[in-house]
Amino acid sequence: MTGTDYEVKLNIFEGPLDLLLHLIRKNELDIFDIPIALITEQFLAYLDMLKTMNMSLAGDFLVMASTLVYIKSKMLLPRHEDETAEDPRDELTRPLMEYLKLKEAAGELSLREILNRDVFIHRFPEDDRKQMEDEEPLLKVNLFQLIDAFKKIVEQNLGATRLEFQVQQWSLKERITFMMDFLKQQGRIFFHELFREDRTVSEFVATFLALLELVQMSMVRIFQADPEKEIMVEGLFENTEDLNNE
């Protein structure tokens, strides 16, 4: 990087309710019986990680963090046996259930035909197309699953290193170009393969930020065959001229 630090904006990515749902699923929790101390700790840890990588957080993440801390403090207060007040966690459960209903409705609508509006077809070689048709339906990977996978890769290569974003001599655009060339050569690859040339924390972070930028520009897709299999990355490069013209 040169000059000022680069900042990735998450305007197309998931919000705080998505992060809460991710933590609930990751910890295999009951949405109606959330261990608020655990969820608050993990939620704040994600925010710290996003900040250290210079990702711009929307204000609603900070509002949710404050809400979690407030609910946690209320849960610590002694309750009388005859007290009939509602569970403080209902402040989370209600919006989470409403949000789940909206996501389910949006998922159903997305399956309907949209008459090719705003759709750009990616042409695959015939062998690749047949292979994809023979595969099981692919699962989309959300931002927080991606962060989990990235953190695991860093820890495997560098140990329990604290992530810190540092100014370097290379630019993010160079890292994006390198990743695009690599994906053009390799096609579909495993997520961990993006980091095989990285040696320092800064290099790992820069590669991850470059990947997020490509996702932002709809130039890669990230998916899993199933939740137990490794994350895959595939390039979709119809819009490469947009990057070259920047």
* Residues counted in the chain: 246
How far lies 222's CA from each of 3, 89, 168, 177, 184, in Å?
A: 31, 33, 27, 18, 15
Which pLDDT band, with edges at 50, 70 and 90, does 206 fall under?
confident
Q: Are 89 and 36 in contact (CB under 8 A)?
A: yes
The first and second tokens of residue 16, run together, are 């705080």
Helix (H, G, I), strand (E, B) or coil at 235: strand
Cα-trace Rg, the chain: 21
Fill in the amino acid letter for 17: L
Which pLDDT band, with edges at 50, 70 and 90, does 192 fall under?
very high
Closest-CA residue to 217 (of 193, 183, 242): 242
Helix (H, G, I), strand (E, B) or coil at 223: strand
pLDDT in tens, 139-186: 778 888 888 999 888 888 877 656 665 545 557 888 888 889 999 888
Query: How high is the pLDDT of residue 224?
Result: 86
In the chain, domain spans: 1-119, 122-246
Query: How high is the pLDDT of residue 190?
Result: 92
What order do you get walking across the sheet with 189-190 strand by strand? 139-140, 220-224, 232-235, 189-190
Query: How high is the pLDDT of residue 133?
Result: 44
Query: How high is the pLDDT of residue 4?
Result: 39
CATH number of 122-246: 1.10.10.580
pLDDT in tens, 25-58: 999 999 999 999 999 999 999 988 887 776 767 7
Which pLDDT band, with edges at 50, 70 and 90, does 3 fall under?
very low
pLDDT over threshold 90, residue 200: no
Q: Are 209 and 56 in contact (CB under 8 A)?
A: no
pLDDT in tens, 85-127: 688 899 899 999 999 988 888 766 655 554 444 544 444 455 5
Query: How high is the pLDDT of residue 246?
Result: 47
How far lies 228's CA from each of 218, 223, 233, in Å?
A: 25, 12, 16
